[in-house]
């Protein structure tokens, strides 16, 4: 133990406010959410009679929640694949020392500066299939005029597409960000490595496959963590774009939680959804944090 | 560094810490200075989600009646737009629990009031009902509906009808058909229309509640008034063979619906009826106002199959929260809401009929487009058996109604009668009505 010097005291005092706030407003509230999910508080009037895991049992029996979970998995998997692939391809293209790289980089990055709400509203218009009164609209109209009318579809209004249409909007927003991550990664790889591989007779494809992509692994991991936690708890995009959709084809747990808690006033039930959401994100993030912490120690 | 500078530094850093502590937690800090209160009788804050169209006009009409009787009272029209009231309800719940209630607010008449824990947050209105003589002017079925835990909690201002079958007169007449009164008639007519390439029944299921709305009318049509009413009180079990029959009927009806129903709202689907590509639509009587706004007049109406003599009703009502800041004004407002003058000013514009049975038809002449429909509905209102709508807050607790809505929304996609009936039964058990 080091002695409590004045410097140390000042530094502890300096971080104390934020530590206290985080303890109360993050961990305290998480604790309260877990606590209330185990009570009978399914009304406006708080009722803290403990009921064990009843709320969770009812939750997992609920058909809407089962659909939500499968939607979340579909959304997360498709969204991760689409953003990673698209982001990587864009980064590779930009990495070719093209002219006006800065301009393209900004263009690709811009969607990320927009709120999910705005993205949601814009894509709701773009992917709206059009009505009897108005005829085809948005993307459908574009397809029709290009002579590709057979590709027209109901998009998010078609229960069989549902959440996959939301993936399009989410990818549009986040692919540029992934590109930025990958581009930084590519730039950090010394040119000597590529040169050496070329001297050894490796083709460009081999260079990517055996040298660059493996070296970009930490970037890919970070990207998966960042994008994954966004997609697991996605809410604003879905609210603005589609709502729960027909037969809950675009519903996600966060939306169900909002409906249950603030529209249904069933606070305990809503808390149980929040806890499940937290656990899902934790499963993704905690191993990463542990892995990172170990690496720091090793250094 | 000299000693005094050291001390100065320490003081400065402490100040900095204190200010950081303040700003970091600043979001939750309550305002310390109490606001100076205006004189008690100067205001009335009414909370609703009526922000546009006929609803807002109707409300303004009632405000005018109130102002004429209560000069000098300023009305604060606190509205929260969007989501058919779902956003407003969330705000309202926060205000009630936070001890900052509006003076009066809008709630569907019936068991929806349970959601606001009335014994805790609302004032019973029994004495007001007695002093205004409302038990004599509102129909008995409505009064039963309004009583929750032995008290009246809100004043009904209007009545909407859920079970109306709207039809394109020309589409039916061209094929030698009349509005079907029974399910057999309906399916026969539907086959004839389908053969002509017309959508027999148009429906939009985009917003999730429309299917639940149609199904409540199918339930009423299949089980009859008493059987339907019993579903919500526990007298009719959800496992009943007639519920199976209702689900089968509904499933068969869905096979006559426009395929793009999932992409459309009810009014989007209504376009089919207007342009003659569709023939019939089951939707509440706000449809009459919508037709008028579309300058469409060639429509007819009838009760949907099996519901002749049944009036599936929903009603907007106004409640009085405990601790309302302008209590006396709120009472005056409720008196206006339940009065003949108030209801005659409100309803023609809103496109609904009076909850009172003694309104004059002549009041409805001010909006000629909906006059025919509304007067015929008012006539049915005074003689039909009245049953509560579940989809619009009258029949069941909101949590149960929400579950019902979700189950039926899933049924539209799955068509699984047995699983749906089990789920409906389970929802009734969860609500504490069935065993």
Number of H-type helices and E-type strands within chain A = 15, 0
Cα B356 from Cα B343, distance rounded (Å)? 8
Q: Which of A9, A58, A133 to mutate to test the interface with B (most CBs of B within 10 A)?
A: A133
Interface predicted TM-score (ipTM) of this complex, two decimals: 0.74
Q: Are B312 and B282 in contact (CB under 8 A)?
A: no
Q: What's the pLDDT at A132?
A: 60
Share of chain B above pLDDT 90, in %: 64
- Digit-coded pLDDT (tens) for A256-276: 999 888 877 889 999 999 999
From chain B, the residues in CB contact with A6 under 8 A are 10
Q: Which of A11, A248, A263, A270 to mutate to test the interface with B (most CBs of B within 10 A)?
A: A263
| Domain A65-253 CATH superfamily | MetI-like (1.10.3720.10)
Using beta carbons and an 8 Å cutoff, which residues of A are at the interface with B? 6, 10, 13-14, 16-18, 20-21, 42-45, 58, 63-64, 129, 131-133, 154, 157-159, 243-244, 246-249, 259, 262-266
- The 8-class DSSP code of residue B127 comes to H
From chain B, the residues in CB contact with A45 under 8 A are 117, 120
Q: What's the pLDDT at A137?
A: 80
Whether residue B35 is predicted with pLDDT greater than 70 in this model: the reply is no
B96's CB contacts (< 8 A; 6+ apart) are A44, B116, B121, B321
Binary contact (B268, A133; C-beta < 8 A): yes
Shortest Cα distance from B120 to chain A (angstroms)? 8
The phi-psi region of residue A135 (left if phi > 0; otherwise alpha if psi is between -120 and 50; otherwise beta) is: left
Q: B172-176, B225-229, B297-301, B359-363: which has the minimum mean pLDDT?
A: B359-363
Q: A142-151, B83-92, B209-218, B362-371: which has the minimum mean pLDDT?
A: B83-92
Average pLDDT, chain B: 88
Res. B29 pLDDT band, cuts 50 70 90: very low
Cα B254 from Cα B202, distance rounded (Å)? 9
Whether residue B179 is predicted with pLDDT greater than 80 in this model: the reply is yes
Q: Which of B14, B18, B24 to mutate to test the interface with A (most CBs of A within 10 A)?
A: B24
Q: A276-280, B26-30, B140-144, B244-248: which has the minimum mean pLDDT?
A: B26-30
Q: Are B41 and B73 in contact (CB under 8 A)?
A: yes
Q: A40-44, A251-255, A273-277, B11-15: which has the minimum mean pLDDT?
A: B11-15
Which of B90, B264, B410 minimises the CB distance to A263?
B90
Q: Are B105 and B330 in contact (CB under 8 A)?
A: no
Shortest Cα distance from B94 to chain A (angstroms)? 9
B201's CB contacts (< 8 A; 6+ apart) are B190, B253, B256, B257, B278, B279, B280, B281, B282
Q: What domains can be seen in chain B, in order of their start residue?
A: 40-160+315-387 (3.40.190.10), 165-313+391-430 (3.40.190.10)
From chain B, the residues in CB contact with A20 under 8 A are 21, 25
Binary contact (B272, A58; C-beta < 8 A): no
Whether residue B288 is predicted with pLDDT greater than 60 in this model: the reply is yes
Q: A11-20, B78-87, B303-312, B334-343: which has the minimum mean pLDDT?
A: B78-87
From chain B, the residues in CB contact with A17 under 8 A are 17, 20-21, 24-25
Q: What's the pLDDT at A2?
A: 61
Q: What's the pLDDT at B82?
A: 67
Whether residue B11 is predicted with pLDDT greater than 80 in this model: the reply is no
Q: Domain limits of chain A? A: 65-253
How far is residue B214 from each of residues A63, A197, B233, B254, B287, measured CA to CA in Å? 21, 69, 21, 10, 14
Q: What is the 3-state secondary structure (H, E, C) of B16-41?
A: HHHHHHHHHCHHHCCCCCCCCCCCHH
- The 8-class DSSP code of residue B165 comes to E
Residue B34 CB neighbours (<10 A): 6
- The 8-class DSSP code of residue A50 comes to B
Which of A18, A244, A248 minimises the CB distance to B24?
A18
Q: What is the 3-state secondary structure (H, E, C) of B311-358?
A: EEEECEEEECECCCCCHHHHHHHHHHHHCHHHHHHHHHHHCCEECCCC
Whether residue A149 is predicted with pLDDT greater than 90 in this model: the reply is no
- Digit-coded pLDDT (tens) for B70-85: 888 999 998 887 656 7
Whether residue B310 is predicted with pLDDT greater than 70 in this model: the reply is yes
Whether this model's pTM surpasses 0.90: no
């Amino acid at each position: 133990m080091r002695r409590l010097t004045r410097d140390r005291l000042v530094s502890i005092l300096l971080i104390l406010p934020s530590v206290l706030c985080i303890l109360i407003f993050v961990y305290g509230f998480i604790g309260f959410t877990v606590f209330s999910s185990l009570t009978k508080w399914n009304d406006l009037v708080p009722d803290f009679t403990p009921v064990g895991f009843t709320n969770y049992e009812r939750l997992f029996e609920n058909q809407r929640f089962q659909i939500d979970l499968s939607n979340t998995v579909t959304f997360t998997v498709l969204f991760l694949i689409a953003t990673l692939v698209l982001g990587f391809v864009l980064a590779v293209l930009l990495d070719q020392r093209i002219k006006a790289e800065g301009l393209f980089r900004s263009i690709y990055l811009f969607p990320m500066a927009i709120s999910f709400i705005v993205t949601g509203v814009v894509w709701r218009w773009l992917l709206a299939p059009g009505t009897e009164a108005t005829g085809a609209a948005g993307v459908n109209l574009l397809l029709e005029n290009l002579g590709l009318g057979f590709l027209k579809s109901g998009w998010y209004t078609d229960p069989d597409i549902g959440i996959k249409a939301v993936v399009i909007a989410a990818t549009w927003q986040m692919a540029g960000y992934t590109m930025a991550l990958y581009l930084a990664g590519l730039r950090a790889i010394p040119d000597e490595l590529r040169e050496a591989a070329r001297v050894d007779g490796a083709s460009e494809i081999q260079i990517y496959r055996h040298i660059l992509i493996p070296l970009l692994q930490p970037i890919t991991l970070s990207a998966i963590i960042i994008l994954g936690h966004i997609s697991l708890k996605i809410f604003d995009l879905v609210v603005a774009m589609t709502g729960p959709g027909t037969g809950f084809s675009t519903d996600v747990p966060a939306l169900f939680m909002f409906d249950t808690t603030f529209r249904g006033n069933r606070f305990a039930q809503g808390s149980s959804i929040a806890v499940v959401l937290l656990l899902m994100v934790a499963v993704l993030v905690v191993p990463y944090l542990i892995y990172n912490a170990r690496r720091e120690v090793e250094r | 560094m000299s000693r005094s500078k050291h001390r100065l530094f320490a003081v400065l850093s402490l100040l900095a810490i204190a200010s950081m502590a303040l700003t970091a937690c600043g979001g939750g800090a309550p305002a310390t200075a109490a606001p100076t209160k205006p004189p008690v009788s100067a205001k009335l804050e009414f909370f609703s989600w009526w922000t546009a169209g006929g609803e807002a006009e109707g409300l303004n009409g009632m405000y005018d009646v109130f102002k004429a009787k209560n000069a000098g009272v300023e009305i604060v029209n606190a509205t929260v737009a969007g989501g058919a009231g779902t956003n407003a309800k969330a705000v309202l719940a926060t205000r009630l629990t936070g001890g900052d209630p509006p003076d009066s607010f809008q709630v569907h008449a019936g068991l929806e009031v349970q959601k606001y824990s009335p014994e805790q947050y609302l004032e019973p209105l029994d004495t007001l009902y007695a002093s205004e003589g409302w038990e004599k002017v509102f129909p008995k079925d409505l009064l039963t509906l309004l009583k929750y835990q032995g008290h009246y909690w809100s004043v009904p201002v209007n009545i909407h009808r859920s079970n109306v079958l709207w039809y394109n007169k020309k589409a039916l007449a061209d094929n030698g058909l009349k509005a079907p009164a029974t399910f057999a008639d309906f399916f026969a007519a539907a086959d004839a229309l389908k053969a002509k390439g017309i959508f027999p029944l148009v429906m939009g299921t985009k917003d999730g509640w429309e299917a639940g709305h149609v199904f409540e009318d199918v339930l009423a049509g299949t089980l009859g008034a008493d059987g339907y009413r019993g579903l919500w009180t526990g007298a009719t079990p959800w496992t009943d063979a007639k519920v199976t029959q209702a689900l089968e009927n509904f499933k068969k009806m869905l096979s006559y619906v426009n395929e793009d129903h999932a992409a459309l709202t009810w009014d989007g689907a209504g376009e089919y009826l207007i342009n003659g590509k569709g023939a019939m639509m089951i939707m509440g009587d706000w449809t009459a106002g919508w037709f008028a706004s579309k300058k469409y007049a060639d429509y007819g109406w009838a009760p949907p199959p099996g519901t002749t003599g049944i009036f599936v009703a929903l009603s907007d009502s106004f409640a009085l929260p405990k601790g309302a800041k302008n209590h006396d004004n709120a009472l005056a407002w409720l008196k206006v809401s339940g009065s003949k003058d108030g209801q005659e000013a409100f309803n023609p514009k809103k496109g609904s009929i009076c909850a009172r049975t003694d309104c004059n038809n002549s009041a409805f002449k001010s909006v000629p487009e909906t006059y025919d429909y509304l007067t015929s509905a008012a006539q049915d209102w005074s003689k039909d058996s009245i049953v509560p709508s579940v989809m619009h807050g009258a029949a069941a607790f909101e949590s149960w109604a929400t579950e019902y809505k979700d189950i039926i929304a899933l049924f539209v996609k799955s068509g699984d009668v047995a699983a749906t009936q089990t789920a409906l039964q389970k929802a009734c058990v969860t609500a504490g009505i069935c065993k």
